[in-house]
Amino acid sequence: MKIKETVLAYIEKNNSYLMLLRNKKKHDINANKWIGVGGHLEKDETPEDALIREIKEETGLDVISYSKKGLIHFNYDDISELMHLYVVNDYKGELIECDEGTLKWIKKSDLFSLELWEGDKIFLKKLLNNEPYFELELNYLKDKLISYRFI
Q: What is the per-residue pLDDT for 1?
A: 63
Task: State how far the alpha carbon of 101 is from the alpha carbons of 17, 36, 96, in Å.
Answer: 15, 11, 11
∠ CA 11-17-22, rounded to 5°: 90
CA atoms in the 13 A half-sphere facing the CB of 66 = 26
Whether 135 shows a pLDDT value over 70: the answer reads yes
Instruction: Kindly report the CATH number that applies to the domain delimited by 3-150.
Output: 3.90.79.10
Dump pLDDT digits (tens) for 3-37.
899 999 999 999 999 999 999 877 778 879 999 99
Long-range contacts of 24-29 (CB under 8 A, 24+ apart): 24/98, 24/99, 24/100, 24/101, 24/102, 25/100, 25/101, 28/100
CB atoms within 10 A of CB 47: 19
Dump pLDDT digits (tens) for 56-87.
999 999 999 999 999 999 998 888 999 999 99
- pTM of the predicted model as reported, rounded to 2 decimal places: 0.95
